[in-house]
């Protein structure tokens, strides 16, 4: 299953590579203007994430939601848990109800396809990998950040060979088809808000292709269920 997923991802990436180019890190105002509302509300979103974290043992690990990704989720025995409110347009009603502030922002922003809290456990390392869909870009905002011994953020996101050590309330808008990895060099949980949003300014043919691919993903989600 994982090999079939990887082959399909390679085909999709090659298709996008022929038609869409751009940098690994993007500009919020230009590429996701709706993201400003999430930045402004980051403390309220953090409070909802902390409430979820109090029952983190109930939140599924990423590879339990998507077994095809076990190589990056179940690789080291450490936890990476995903509290999913919305996945490619399919809502998880219970999780949306548990986070009314975030749910309201997500529903008010049509560009948002997916929304989740990504909870990276102590000493967890997500190895280098690439996403398949360049028609989607990722908004990543830190909600809780443990500290290293020197006081610096202990959680790192590395995109296209550049390390980003973001503090609470800081964000990055980036293209996850570039190689990336993440790790948490602490004994506490790091929580970020992760949004998948439509890439703006795509050629018409790639908007059509992207919409078709998302419909296929939604079908799979409806069959499997939202985590």
Q: What is the CATH number of the domain that holds 75?
A: 2.60.120.330
Task: Share the mean pLDDT of the chain.
Answer: 93
Beta bridge partners of 139: 173, 195
Q: Within a domain: residue 16?
A: no
Q: Within a domain: residue 27?
A: yes
**Residues in CB range of 94: below 8 A, 6 or more apart:** none
Structural domain boundaries, residue 63: 2-8+23-224
Q: Is the pLDDT of residue 121 over 90?
A: yes
pTM of the model: 0.92
Domain count, the chain: 1
Q: For residues 54 and 132, what is the distance between their CA atoms, to the nearest angstrom?
A: 33
Q: Is the pLDDT of residue 65 over 80?
A: yes
**pLDDT tens figures, 168-221:** 999 999 999 999 999 999 999 999 999 999 999 999 998 998 999 999 888 888
Q: Within a domain: residue 13?
A: no
Q: Within a domain: residue 158?
A: yes
Q: Within a domain: residue 109?
A: yes
Q: Within a domain: residue 17?
A: no
**pLDDT tens figures, 10-26:** 888 888 888 888 999 99
Tell me what percent of the chain is helix, strand and coil, each rounded to the nearest 5: 40, 30, 35
């Amino acid at each position: 299953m994982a090999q079939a997923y990887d082959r399909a991802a390679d085909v999709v990436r090659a298709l996008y590579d022929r038609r869409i180019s751009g940098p690994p890190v993007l500009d919020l105002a230009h590429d996701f203007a709706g993201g400003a509302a999430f930045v402004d509300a980051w403390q309220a979103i953090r409070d909802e994430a902390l409430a979820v974290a109090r029952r983190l043992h109930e939140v599924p690990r990423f590879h339990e939601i998507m077994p095809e990704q076990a190589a990056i989720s179940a690789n080291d025995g450490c936890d990476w848990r995903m509290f999913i409110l919305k996945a490619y347009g399919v809502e998880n009603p219970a999780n949306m109800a548990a986070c009314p502030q975030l749910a309201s922002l997500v529903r008010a922003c049509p560009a948002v396809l997916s929304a989740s809290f990504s909870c990276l456990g102590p000493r967890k390392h997500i190895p280098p990998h690439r996403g398949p869909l360049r028609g989607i870009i990722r908004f990543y905002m830190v909600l809780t950040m443990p500290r290293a011994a020197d006081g610096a953020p202990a959680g790192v996101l590395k995109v296209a060979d550049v390390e980003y050590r973001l503090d609470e309330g800081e964000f990055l808008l980036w293209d996850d088809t570039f190689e990336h990895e993440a790790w948490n060099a602490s004994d506490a949980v790091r929580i970020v808000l992760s949004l998948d949003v439509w890439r703006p300014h795509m050629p018409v043919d790639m908007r059509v292709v992207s919409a078709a691919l998302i419909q296929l993903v939604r079908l799979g989600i409806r069959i499997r269920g939202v985590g």
